[in-house]
């Protein structure tokens, strides 16, 4: 995909740091901004995914689920106890 030009306003000190970094890495200033935005977007995507995972796993079993689970473990133990392994 071809690049699209855009104009942004930056603090002068930040621009100087970007220019220094671009010179040190022998890349264009645009490349620095592209890498920085890609990295930022990836971080945000990871935060969103983590939030979704946390939400999915935060629901603890309700009392009825705990009772059913306990009952199943007891029945399972009885069945396993009857086996002649």
Which tens digit of pLDDT belongs to each residue from 25-72?
Answer: 999 999 999 999 999 999 999 999 999 998 888 877 778 888 898 999
Number of domains within the chain:
1
Whether 5 maps to a domain, the answer reads no
Whether 3 maps to a domain, the answer reads no
Q: Is 69 helix (H, G, I), strand (E, B) or coil?
A: helix
Q: Helices in the chain by DSSP H: which ranges?
A: 12-25, 29-57, 63-82
Q: Which domain holds residue 65?
A: 12-82
CA distances from 39 to 29, 42, 83 (A): 15, 5, 57
Q: How confident is residue 11, by pLDDT bands cut at 50, 70 and 90?
A: very high
pTM metric for this prediction: 0.62
């Amino acid at each position: 995909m071809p690049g699209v030009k855009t104009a942004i306003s930056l603090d002068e000190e930040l621009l100087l740091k970007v220019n220094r970094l671009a010179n040190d890495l022998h890349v264009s200033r645009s490349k620095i901004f592209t890498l920085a935005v890609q990295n930022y977007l990836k971080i945000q995507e990871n935060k969103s995914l983590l939030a979704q995972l946390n939400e999915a796993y935060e629901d603890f079993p309700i009392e009825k689920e705990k009772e059913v689970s306990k009952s199943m473990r007891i029945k399972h133990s009885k069945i396993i106890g009857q086996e002649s392994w």
